[in-house]
Amino acid sequence: MFDPLPDKPDNNALELEVLDRWERERTFDQLRERNRGGPGFSFVDGPVTANKKLAVHTAWGRTLKDVFQRYKALKGFDQRYQNGFDCQGLWIEVGVERELGFNSKREIEAYGLEEFAARCRDVVVESSQQLTRGSIRLGQWMDWGNDYFTFSDTNIEYIWKFLKIVRERRWLYLGHRATAWCPRCGTSLSQHELTQGGVYQEKSDPSLYVRLPLLDRHGESVVVWTTTPWTLPANVAAAVHPEGEYGLRENGEWVLAARYPKDTFVRRAKGAELVGLRYQGPFDNLPPGAGVEHRIIPWDEVDLEQEIGTGIVHIAPGAGPEDFELGRSLGLDVLTPVDEAGRFYDDYGWLHGLSTVEAADQIVGDLAERGFLVESGTFLHDYAHCWRCDTPIIYRLSDDWFIAVDEIRPKLLEENAKVEWVPEYMGKRMDDWLRNMGDWNISRRRYYGLPLPFYPCSCGHLTVIGSKQELAERAVDPLDDLPELRRPWVDRIRIRCEACDEPVSRVLEVGDVWLDAGIVPFSTLGWESPEWVPEGYATGAARGLTTADLPDHAYWEQWFPADWVSEMREQIRLWFYSQFFMSCVLVGRSPYRRVLGYEKMLDEHGREMHGSWGNMIDAEDAFARMGADVMRWQYCAQPPDRNLLFGFGPAHEIKRKLLTFWNSVAVLVLYGNIARYEPSPADLDGLAPDRPLDRWMVARTHALVREAEAAYEATLSVNVIRAFEAFVDDLSNWYIRRSRPRFWAEEGDALRTLWYALVQSLRVISPVMPFLADHLWWNLVRGREASVHLAGWPEVGDPDRALLDEIAEVRAVVELGRQARSTSGLRQRQPLRRLIVAGAPLAREHGEEIADELNVKEVEFGDVEASELRVKPNLPLLGPKLGKDLARVRELLIEGDFTELEGGRFQVDGYVLEPEEVLVERIGREGWAVATDGTITAALDTTLDDELRIEGRVNDLIRSVQVLRKDSGLEVTDRIRLWIPEEELLPFSGRIAEETLAVAVELASELRLEKA
């Protein structure tokens, strides 16, 4: 006996029960045990930042990882299930700063770096526990407890090793340039950090037009435009396009003539003529400006088409990257007006101590007072903000450590071309990035991060340390007090310079976090590790948090490169990139063979999700209200090349669809129990029933297995969902509908076939909805595997394609028949005389089933003359083709003066019209209802006679009795006594009794029944 099913599943309760059972029976351990030694499938997990609990966004990626790992496990693959946590960098630091109420680096230093490091670690510990709990609830099967943490000493040492190699190749250098800078975080940011989502936000800035008096031409000036007033004190030059035509206004102002078409100019001149002229700087009254000779310079990059500005560009090499490059090529002076916190240096006089924002208004006022201001307003544009703290970015001159990329760039491009990207365009994005990216800025002036192992000596030599061992060997100070390879402890250890033996200190910078994550395919797989070290990964800050081993090099050989990695698209320039880059440097090849990327998650109305907008969905809430299976379904149903609109609305829709499947299982449970049907698990190895309908269901199941297999192999979960939904439709709306009388008759083959189809489909869908699938498996399968996840992937033969095509056509005819009936307005229970079907040769043998489904007496296959063909010209296409003949052709079409040709073409007066050039409609003639899909046409004879009418009434009555039976709480097998109010239906009491399980049918004043 099967356990009876409730009307609908309580997903949350059911999932918690399944989780319990998995834990009790150690199902995941059993699965890994079973697959050990099988073919390998290497998955490397991208680390999740450990600064939060599980969010529905993160659950998306985790679901995809789990789905494809579960599929591969069903296929018997031995896999790695190591989860990773990202533990360092601004994410963590900014969170702790907020918690402590800090807003500057000074406050962190006053608080103490040791204590600050401890707080950062606390965040990671707390968050990693929450993320683990959330992921387990989501159903993700990972090797929890053996996670990697990127702040472990082992991970850090691997990065040191990488940096040492980079140094040996001469790709490491200390760059001096104007770089993107967050004044709040007090650090530079790299190019890839500015490409993250949310960095560019709309911002309103001052818009200033500033007059700069020419020293060599009395009464004349050039006008420049800027949206960053704070950079004006750093002005050293004004650039013109040598070929641009500039105009001199009556008031002596030079501007680009084309920008001001309505102005009158007293003189016009090429930019080249202005080049070399000296001018008075806007802040020559302050010491830095006073020391600079300001000149007009030529620059081909001056945009002559721009709709804003004056065609004369304010140049401040210390406050803009392009300005810096230009200044370098021309040997211009460089002024750096603001410090790390974005405040003016002391030598800027009255500006000193002001932030770039605070200074803006005062600078505008000062310029106006001194006659430099032409015009001021505001300007709305997309402007870069710090990805971590939302502060607007500035550019300032800074010394940063860079990795030069030009030499390795060709190798990167060559390797990326070998990677299989899903969706394909993401590979193109990677290629674009690799072609255009600049050198990698790897240093950050922060605290909780990878300490860069750089020891520059005053003798000019740079020592780069490649391991903890090497540090010990070169250390001048004792290493006893080095609990973690981290600031502040590591800063206290000086080493002997390789060149001159003098003691040198480490630079204070920490590394870009993407180094932490990028090294993972080496640090966690034991690259070049001479031996296997139990718990060897649990070092430094990771000690006590994990039991992860440091494997040996043979293990790395076995599992590198990853067969598959998956993250969101944003990671192209982040994790996909950093590990790719590091891997190409270390071993000259890509660390992954295939990537699945996916787009962004928005709310169900297409808006970004924000805590402050109230549309953020908490994962806990989603588990409770929709259940993990429904969440997973929502993630899997999403084509990866489009944004996912996630929410409770779509979840409701999914529950509705899944209910159809649930109800199909309920049919088996109900009739199976009535028939005392005992399934035989051996049937799963192969079922060959006799009846065509059963054979079709088996073939249809095999087709599902094949389609889903192809979809999983292509890592396109959306195609798994589509295949499963189509299968459930066929199962429920054809097989079960057509088999009801046989279930009734307790026919074993029908129940067996239904059981087979359901159970095989559970195996197919189990990676997507592991809970519901296992719950139903336990109910339907007795005496074989204890879990669907241990049952393996179904082995099936090639499906009988001819049979599948045949029934697909039958279903299409029935669908069209239903459409035709609905246009006629006649209810389904009203029998009709005749259906004529054209264009469905495969359905010919199924006339009886079609008649039964559509409630018609007779089905004919042949030409449909019951309809009138109406053809209209498709004007946008035919107009150009026919020109003046269009009117005539149109008239002939209206009159019906045309011939239908093969393939949907039409002949009209010497013209052949292609299918796309015409709009075709088939209208039922009087007394007929017609529907067509272009190939198949179904025409229903809608004429009623007395016999049909009374039959319709009998059907209505039977239906009313069925409803009444259900409402009275009768079991489907209960017999009844029945009273009906319609005397003229009494002659049909035999049929009525048969269909309603009545032992007697009598006349009464109203419809009623009682249990017999």
Residues in contact with Zn ion by the rule CB under 5 A: 182, 184-185, 386, 389, 391, 457, 459, 461, 497, 499-500
Q: CB–CB of 254/221 below 8 Å?
A: yes
3-state class (DSSP) for residue 224:
strand
Of 130 and 391, CB closest to Zn ion: 391
Residue type, 917: E
Distances (CA, A) of 180 to 92, 188, 433: 21, 6, 18
Residue 768 — φ and ψ, nearest 5°? -80, -50
Q: CB–CB of 961/1007 below 8 Å?
A: yes
Tokens of 621: 């809430």
d(CA 874, CA 905): 13
Please report how close the Cβ of residue 497 comes to Zn ion at its closest, in angstroms.
3
**Angle formed at CA 944 by CA 940 and CA 945, multiple of 5 degrees:** 140
Of 94 and 929, CB closest to Zn ion: 94
Residue 405: closest CA among 266, 181, 213, 582: 582
Of 98 and 1011, CB closest to Zn ion: 98
DSSP character for 314? E
Please report how close the Cβ of residue 601 comes to Zn ion at its closest, in angstroms.
24
d(CA 738, CA 810): 12
d(CA 489, CA 470): 16
Helix (H) or strand (E) holding 296: strand 295-298
CB count, 10 Å around CB of 530? 8
Tokens of 607: 């808006």
Provide CB contacts within 8 A for 764, sequence distance 6+: 704, 705, 708, 720, 724, 794
Q: Say whether the peptide bond before residue 423 is cis (omega within 30 degrees of 0).
A: yes
Of 372 and 387, CB closest to Zn ion: 387
Total residues belonging to the chain: 1012
Please report how close the Cβ of residue 460 comes to Zn ion at its closest, in angstroms.
7
Alpha helix ranges (H) inside 36-89: 56-74
Residue type, 594: R
Please report how close the Cβ of residue 94 comes to Zn ion at its closest, in angstroms.
7
Please return the burial class of 273, using the count of CB atoms within 10 Å of its CB with bins 0-12, 13-18 and 19+. middle
Please report how close the Cβ of residue 579 comes to Zn ion at its closest, in angstroms.
25
Of 460 and 862, CB closest to Zn ion: 460
**Angle formed at CA 174 by CA 172 and CA 179, multiple of 5 degrees:** 115
Please return the burial class of 881, using the count of CB atoms within 10 Å of its CB with bins 0-12, 13-18 and 19+. middle
3-state class (DSSP) for residue 186:
coil
Of 185 and 622, CB closest to Zn ion: 185
Of 203 and 543, CB closest to Zn ion: 203
Please report how close the Cβ of residue 105 comes to Zn ion at its closest, in angstroms.
11
Please report how close the Cβ of residue 499 comes to Zn ion at its closest, in angstroms.
4
Catalogue the long-range contacts made by 876-884 (C-beta closer than 8 Å, 24 or more residues apart): 877/916, 877/917, 878/913, 878/917, 878/918, 881/917, 882/911
Q: CB–CB of 277/245 below 8 Å?
A: no
Please return the burial class of 282, using the count of CB atoms within 10 Å of its CB with bins 0-12, 13-18 and 19+. buried
Please report how close the Cβ of residue 461 comes to Zn ion at its closest, in angstroms.
5
Please report how close the Cβ of residue 107 comes to Zn ion at its closest, in angstroms.
14
Please report how close the Cβ of residue 613 comes to Zn ion at its closest, in angstroms.
22
d(CA 304, CA 788): 68
Provide CB contacts within 8 A for 76, sequence distance 6+: 34, 35, 38, 39, 792, 793
Of 269 and 462, CB closest to Zn ion: 462
Residue type, 335: L
Tokens of 704: 């599902």
Q: CB–CB of 42/563 below 8 Å?
A: yes
How many CA atoms does the CB half-sphere of 857 hold within 13 Å?
13
Of 185 and 426, CB closest to Zn ion: 185
Of 499 and 624, CB closest to Zn ion: 499
Please report how close the Cβ of residue 46 comes to Zn ion at its closest, in angstroms.
23
d(CA 289, CA 298): 21
Of 462 and 1007, CB closest to Zn ion: 462
Please report how close the Cβ of residue 611 comes to Zn ion at its closest, in angstroms.
18
List, in sequence order, every residue forming a beta bridge with 297; answer none if it has no partner: 239
Of 236 and 457, CB closest to Zn ion: 457
3-state class (DSSP) for residue 566:
strand
Of 458 and 612, CB closest to Zn ion: 458
Please report how close the Cβ of residue 652 comes to Zn ion at its closest, in angstroms.
40
Of 223 and 457, CB closest to Zn ion: 457
| b (16+ CB within 10 A) / e for 168-182 | eeebbeebebbbbbb
Of 72 and 184, CB closest to Zn ion: 184
Alpha helix ranges (H) inside 148-222: 153-168
Please report how close the Cβ of residue 165 comes to Zn ion at its closest, in angstroms.
22
Of 106 and 607, CB closest to Zn ion: 106
Residue 511: closest CA among 257, 190, 113: 190
Residue in this structure with the two tokens 């049918």, named with its chain if needed: 1001
Please report how close the Cβ of residue 321 comes to Zn ion at its closest, in angstroms.
18
Please report how close the Cβ of residue 277 comes to Zn ion at its closest, in angstroms.
40
Of 386 and 882, CB closest to Zn ion: 386
Please report how close the Cβ of residue 455 comes to Zn ion at its closest, in angstroms.
9
Of 234 and 497, CB closest to Zn ion: 497
Please report how close the Cβ of residue 97 comes to Zn ion at its closest, in angstroms.
10
